[in-house]
C-alpha cells in the first residue's frame, strides 16, 4: 500500500523489490502495526518522509531467504521460516553518537523503515544488511509483537531515562499504545502507585489500563486542572509523582505534567513525534525550584526493542486485549482512519502467505 500523495488514500501497487544481496534478509510480513505516527505521515506532518512511500515501521514476519549466513543480535543463526522482528531504525554504527555517546538513536544517518524508506505495509520486505534482527518464539502473537518494535521500544527508552524505582509514584499521560507499554514497564520496575490520564473518548483505553494494573485513572476533560493535580498529590502524601511520562503527542500535556511532578522528580516526554508550536513554561516554579529532571526521548535503539520484545514474549502483563482491530493489507486506509479517530486501542494489518 503506497502513499503517493499526502491526505489521499494509499494505493495498492505492485512494487519490484529486487533480489536478496549478501547480508540482506527477505521477510514475508505477518503483522504490520498501525502507529499514530503513520497517521501523521499520511497527513504530511512528518518532515522526514519522501514520496512515494510504503509506510509501516512496526513489522513482524517470517524469513523467506537470507543472502548467505545470517545471525540475529543474540548470535542465533537465521533460516527460512524463522519468526523475526527488527529495529525499525538503521544506524551507521561508526559515528560519534553510535560509538562514543552510545546513543545510536541520535545517529545523524539513522533511516527508518516506513518513514524514510519503504516499510511494512507490504507483503514482503528486504531488510538491508545493517538491520538488527531479533528471532522470537513462534508461539507469540505476531500482531501483539509488532507493537514492541515502536511503542514498546520507545516506552522502554522512556522508562529507562525516567529512572523509576520500586515504591515510586508514576503518572502516565495518555492511554494509547505508548502509554500502555509505559504502564507495563512501570509495573515491571516496581512502581507502587501508577495513574494514567486520558480524555473523553479514551474510556476503553483507560479501562484497559486499570485492568492491567493502573491504580487510578483521570479523565482530564471531566476534572479541572488544579483538582487533578491535587488528586495526584493525594496519592503521594502531598508530594506529587516521582515520574510523569507524557505519551499523548500533545504539547498541552506539559502544563498538567510539570505540575504533577514532585520536587526532585522527572518529567519525561516520548510522546511528541512531529513538530509542534512552542508552549510557555513557568521555568522558575515548575523546573528550577523543583530541581526537576526534564528528559526528551527520541525514538529507541536495539536494546529497547529487545526489552519490549521480552516483555511481550514473557506474557507477564494482560496485553491480550491490546490489539482491538485486525485488518488485511488492502484495508490500510480504513485502519488509518480508525487510528486517527482513536476508535481502537491498537490496529494491526495481518497477512496470509501461501507456503
Give me the residues that bind Zn ion (CB under 5 A), please: 35, 37, 91-92, 95, 98, 107, 150
* Cβ-based nearer residue to Zn ion, 91 or 272: 91
CA distance 317 to 177: 14
User: Can you tell me whether residue 182 is helix, strand or coil?
Assistant: helix
* Cβ-based nearer residue to Zn ion, 35 or 272: 35
* Cβ-based nearer residue to Zn ion, 59 or 198: 59
CA distance 335 to 58: 14
Q: What count of residues does the chain have? A: 355
Summarize the chain as % helix, strand, coil (round to 5). 30, 25, 45
Closest CA to 334 of 149, 343, 5: 343
Q: How far is the CB of 193 from Zn ion (least distance, A)?
A: 28
* Cβ-based nearer residue to Zn ion, 220 or 268: 268
Q: How far is the CB of 176 from Zn ion (least distance, A)?
A: 11
CA distance 63 to 338: 30
Largest CA distance in the chain: 63
Asked whether the bond before 52 is cis by omega within 30 degrees of 0, the reply is yes
* Cβ-based nearer residue to Zn ion, 32 or 37: 37
Classify residue 77 by its DSSP letter.
B
Q: How far is the CB of 263 from Zn ion (least distance, A)?
A: 33
* Cβ-based nearer residue to Zn ion, 78 or 95: 95
Q: How far is the CB of 302 from Zn ion (least distance, A)?
A: 13
- Grid coordinates belonging to 153: 521500544
Question: How would you classify the pairing of strands 241-246 and 261-269?
Answer: parallel
Q: How far is the CB of 149 from Zn ion (least distance, A)?
A: 8
CB-based contacts of 319, cutoff 8 Å, min separation 6? 144, 180, 184, 212, 312
* Cβ-based nearer residue to Zn ion, 6 or 96: 96
Q: How far is the CB of 94 from Zn ion (least distance, A)?
A: 6
Q: How far is the CB of 168 from Zn ion (least distance, A)?
A: 27
Amino acid at each position: 500500500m503506497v502513499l503517493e500523495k499526502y491526505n489521499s488514500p494509499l494505493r495498492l501497487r505492485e512494487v519490484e523489490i529486487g533480489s536478496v544481496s549478501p547480508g540482506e534478509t527477505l521477510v514475508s510480513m505477518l503483522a504490520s502495526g498501525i502507529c499514530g505516527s503513520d497517521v501523521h505521515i499520511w497527513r504530511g506532518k512528518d518532515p522526514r518522509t519522501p514520496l512515494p512511500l510504503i509506510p509501516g515501521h512496526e513489522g513482524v514476519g517470517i524469513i523467506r531467504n537470507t543472502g548467505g549466513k545470517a545471525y540475529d543480535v543474540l548470535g542465533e543463526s537465521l533460516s527460512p521460516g524463522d519468526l523475526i522482528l527488527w529495529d525499525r531504525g538503521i544506524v551507521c554504527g561508526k559515528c560519534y553518537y553510535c560509538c562514543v555517546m552510545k546513543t545510536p538513536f541520535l545517529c545523524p544517518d539513522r533511516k527508518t523503515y516506513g518513514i524514510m524508506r519503504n516499510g511494512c505495509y507490504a507483503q514482503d520486505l528486504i531488510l538491508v544488511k545493517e538491520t538488527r534482527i531479533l528471532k522470537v518464539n513462534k508461539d507469540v502473537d505476531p500482531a501483539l509483537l509488532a507493537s514492541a518494535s515502536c511503542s514498546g521500544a520507545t516506552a522502554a527508552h522512556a522508562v529507562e531515562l525516567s529512572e523509576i524505582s520500586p515504591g515510586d509514584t508514576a503518572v502516565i499521560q495518555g492511554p494509547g499504545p505508548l502509554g500502555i507499554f509505559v504502564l507495563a514497564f512501570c509495573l515491571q520496575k516496581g512502581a507502587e502507585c501508577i495513574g494514567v490520564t486520558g480524555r473523553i473518548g479514551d474510556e476503553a483505553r483507560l479501562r484497559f489500563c486499570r485492568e492491567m494494573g493502573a491504580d487510578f485513572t483521570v479523565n482530564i476533560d471531566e476534572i479541572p486542572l488544579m483538582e487533578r493535580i491535587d488528586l495526584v498529590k493525594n496519592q503521594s502524601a502531598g508530594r506529587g509523582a516521582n515520574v510523569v511520562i507524557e505519551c499523548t503527542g500533545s504539547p498541552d500535556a506539559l502544563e498538567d505534567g510539570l505540575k504533577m511532578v514532585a520536587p526532585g522528580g522527572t518529567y519525561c516526554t516520548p510522546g511528541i513525534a512531529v513538530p509542534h508550536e512552542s508552549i510557555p513554561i513557568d521555568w522558575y516554579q515548575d523546573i528550577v525550584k523543583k530541581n526537576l529532571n526534564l528528559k526528551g526521548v527520541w525514538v529507541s535503539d536495539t536494546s529497547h526493542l529487545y526489552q519490549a520484545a521480552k516483555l511481550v514474549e514473557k506474557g507477564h502483563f494482560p496485553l491480550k486485549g491490546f490489539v482491538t482491530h485486525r485488518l488485511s493489507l488492502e484495508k490500510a486506509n480504513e485502519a488509518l482512519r480508525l487510528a486517527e479517530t482513536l476508535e481502537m486501542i491498537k490496529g494491526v494489518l495481518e497477512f496470509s502467505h501461501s507456503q
